[in-house]
Structure formats: structure tokens, C-alpha cells
Amino acid sequence: MRRLLPLLPALLLAVPVMAGAAQADEKAPTATFTLVNVEYEGSKIWLPGTITVKRGTRVKINLVNNTPSGQHGFAIPKFGVAAIVDKGQPQAVEFVASEAGIFPTICQLHPAHVGGQLVVLP
């Protein structure tokens, strides 16, 4: 145990170093989108259905539910994003698109609703 004590300050420093990594993410280029949920001929759809960013971008999405009634979800499972949006009460989500690929966006409350996609370019 005595041999570990000199290491203790170094172990405590690990926390600020990790916080520094989070700050680096905050300096990433930011892309902001507004998606609107509409009902068209019986289908609920977030529009635009596809959003595209470059890998490493901090993505902010403002979510507006304009369907006649009820609440809808917006989720990007790959990046742990999930929000529930009521009509008249916009929500915002934010994440870093840290991996390139094509990822589904869904209404996690109603799996039958039309989904979209997030395209992250390398």
C-alpha cells in the first residue's frame, strides 16, 4: 500500500485530464438542424428525413412536433440520443457524431412511424 501512495496524486489527476477531453469535443465544429414532425396522409414523419455531417461534428438538433396530437420520440440509438417531444414544446438534443456511417433515426415510441437517417461522412 505504501508503494501506491506516491501514485495517488497521479491517479487524482486522471479526472481533470478526462474533463479536458470533453472540452476538446466542445471545440468541434457544430452543425445545427431543425427537424419537424408532421403527419402526411396518415404517416408521421420527421422532416428532413436525412441529415448529413462530417465525423467529429457536434450536432445540435431542434425538434418540433407539429402533428395534430400526441407526442413523438426522436432517437438515434447509435449515439445514445433520445427525446420525447410534445406538440408545442420543442426539445433539443446534442451529441458528437464520433463515428462515420449511416445510422437510423427513429420514433422510439412508435416503431411503425417513418424513420430517417443520420449520415456521418468520414
Q: Which is nearer to Cu ion, 52 or 67 (CB)?
A: 67
Binding-residue pattern over the window 49 to 88 for Cu ion, x denoting contact by CB under 5 A: -----------------------x----------------
SS3 category, 41: coil
Which of 107, 116, 118, 120 touches Cu ion (CB under 5 A)? 107
Q: Is 113 in the site for Cu ion (CB under 5 A)?
A: yes
Helical segments of 1-108, H only: 8-26
Q: Which is nearer to Cu ion, 53 or 73 (CB)?
A: 73
Q: Which residue do the cell numbers 413523438 mark?
A: 72
Compute the least distance from the CB of residue 88 to Cu ion, in Å.
Answer: 16
- What per-residue string of b and e applies to 97-113 under the rule 16 or more CB within 10 Å gives b? beeeeebebbbbbeeeb
Size of the site for Cu ion (CB under 5 A): 5
Q: Is 110 in the site for Cu ion (CB under 5 A)?
A: yes
The C-alpha atoms of residue 90 and residue 85 are separated, in whole angstroms, by: 6
Nearest CA to 37 out of 13, 7, 4, 71 is that of 71
Q: What is the binding site for Cu ion (CB under 5 A)? A: 72, 107, 109-110, 113
